[in-house]
Chains A and B, each alone.
Chain A
Amino acid sequence: MNENGSTRPTTLPARSVATLVRNKDVSIALLTAVLIVIFSVSNGQFLSSENLFVMLKTMPELGLIAIGMTLLIIAGEFDLSVGSTFALSPFIMAYLTARAGVNPVLAFFVGVASGVAIGWLNGIITTKIGIPSFITTLGTMMAFRGVILLASAGFPEAYDRGEAIAKIFIADLNGFPVQFFWFVAAAIVIWVILENHRFGNWTYVTGGNRGASVSMGIPVDRVKIINFMIVGGLSALAGAIQVFRMGSAYSNAGQGLELSAIAAVVIGGTMLSGGAGTIVGTVMGTIILFTVENILILSRAPAFWFRFFVGVIVIVAVTAHILFKGGKRNG
């Protein structure tokens, strides 16, 4: 081993290739690339600019939630209420903007704050009462879906897509949807936190071994609560972006989104047992879900095939991750 100040262990080229393939981030990126090549060869429309635009425009809504979910799953918890937050928070924003005459920017921040507050509530109930987060967020998922159905009476709340705040999130930059930048920006920020910030290390160790983390003085409850709040905020942001895109807040928006988000996270190699996982994997998992859905639509396959394929991909991907297990998970 080379000792003279190099930050990384020096390895032979052959070994580093093997290490690379064993690295989850690299293997999932390779898999994604292979899928994209297959899809573009099998269908000429796949790489057309219109099709790419549609994919990149819709992907951030699931992707933002999946990024937050990755953090939370690494910390050892789940959030099933993201789909309800995705509907309720932007509904609050749309209601305040359209009916109460609140400044649209302020209304946007109130909407996102309401998502953060739902996350805080999930975190408090889970850590302080000690209910498994699966149950806590199953409860809040249903409760907040009920709230929005009551408040909206099932009717959509209109939103003016011309608002300046909407433009910031959904503008078209020469055929490139700006919301995709927000998705990438969020992924980079969370990635940097996980890799380089103390809070990221606390998130990994809290999910990996709670007892050990407590005995080293890490405030595990606070770590979990903050991660719940991040997921809530990102879900609210994702919901707002959909409202900006569609011009209405629907009471049934985001139904089933929690499972799609968990699927994207799992396909990306994050283990539900906590303590391990990567953002790069989740971004790739999101891309895989969207490209598969897209190719099925382009092939005019009946919609139910999508669910079938997602199910198969989840199982195949996790099997592959287990087979390739090893290598470094984070560093």
Chain B
Amino acid sequence: MADRSGTAPVYRLKGISKSFGHVQALKDVDIDVSAGEIIGLVGDNGAGKSTLIKILSGIYQPDSGSIECEGQQRHITSYRDSQALGIATIYQDRALVDSVSIYRNIFMGNEIVSPLGFMAKRRMREITRRLLRESISIGLSNPDQAVGELSGGQKQAVAIVRAIHFKARLLLLDEPTNALSVKESQQVMAFVKGLRDEGISSIFVTHNLFHVYSIADRFVILNRGIRVGDFRKSEISIERLEEIIVAGAEQSA
């Protein structure tokens, strides 16, 4: 497997701070994301993981700090800005529409249309069929199947497939394995891992250290909004990772 984490970072967060009233949710956080790198963003409740994800997806704006994409400083003030920079947030419930088919979900908001707005359904179905075939691990083939009939893992995979088809290069996965069966979690993780070879990076937020340890190349540990650790997987054991998270939580308790 190609190790691309040695190349220059594609996304670079520098000195990100954000507070809500008196609560400092993030303080001076730096994170670099290289192409094809999977980062496990870990920390106890209230560490600032979700705030960081929301800043990257344009829901919150940081009070200070900068975000660079391929060396250029960028401002992310909306979800659309975030998408334009190739960042895609994969939510559990907010991503797909259960009552319509897979291909209508894949192309919602990005339909292939004639000048009068009529959809090229044949092409949309063909592309969907190809996308499903390429992500064979999720076991779907019919673009007309309603998304409501899919399992939780399959839905996430469809959301990820869609993001990548529309040129996402960084996936933000916020607790993606919550509410999934063990087998489905494995499928989603295998799928995300497979994307590394295409240069697609992920930030994986979860409480489940076993899940994140098996998949991530690097771990960024947050505690009370401060980055307390940044380790490559070879530098740290899962026990040590857990110790740092727990110790940090106790320290601040």
Contact = CB atoms under 8 A, between A and B. Distances in A.
- The 3 A-B residue pairs whose C-beta atoms are closest, nearest first, are A216-B109, A275-B99, A208-B97
A331 interface: yes
A199 B108 contact: no
Given A197-B117, A201-B104, A212-B96, A218 B146 contact: no
B119 interface: yes
7 contacts: A5-B126, A7-B121, A9-B144, A201-B104, A217-B83, A330-B101, A331-B121
Interface string B88-128: 01010111111111001101111101000111011001100
Interface string A251-282: 00000000000000000000100111000000
A211 interface: yes
Contacts of B99: 204, 207-208, 271, 274-276, 329
B125 A205 contact: no
Given A201-B100, A209-B98, A216-B110, 6 more contacts: A204-B97, A209-B94, A214-B79, A218-B109, A275-B97, A328-B145
Interface residues of B, number: 37
Contacts of B145: 328
B3 to A, nearest CB: 33
B154 interface: no
B84 to A, nearest CB: 10
Contact of A201 (B89, B95, B119): B119
Contacts of B95: 212, 215
Given A3-B129, A201-B108, A218-B108, A212 B94 contact: yes
A331 B97 contact: no
B151 interface: no
Contacts of A213: 97, 108-109
Contacts of B110: 216
Contacts of A201: 100, 104, 107-108, 111, 119
A275 B108 CA distance: 13
A204 B111 CA distance: 13
B101 A197 contact: no
Contacts of B101: 328, 330-331
A319 interface: no
Contacts of A211: 93-94
A51 interface: no
Contacts of B93: 211
B85 to A, nearest CB: 15
B116 to A, nearest CB: 8
B142 A215 contact: no
A292 B156 CA distance: 46
Contacts of B149: 326
Interface of B: 79-80, 83, 89, 91, 93-101, 104-105, 107-111, 113, 117-119, 121-122, 125-126, 129, 133, 141-142, 144-146, 149
A38 interface: no
A329 B108 contact: no
Interface residues of A, number: 34
A199 B114 CA distance: 12
A18 interface: no
A16 interface: no
B94 to A, nearest CB: 4
A198 interface: yes
Nearest to B111: A198
B97 A209 contact: yes
Nearest to A217: B109
A166 B133 CA distance: 56
B80 A197 contact: no
Contacts of A276: 99-100
Contacts of B104: 201, 204-205, 330
B109 A330 contact: no
B157 to A, nearest CB: 16
A5 B127 CA distance: 11
Nearest to B121: A196
Interface string A170-209: 0000000000000000000000000011110110110111
A64 B144 CA distance: 29
B152 to A, nearest CB: 15
Contacts of A312: none
A1 interface: yes
Contact of A197 (B97, B118, B125): B118
B94 A198 contact: no
A328 B144 contact: yes
Nearest to A325: B148
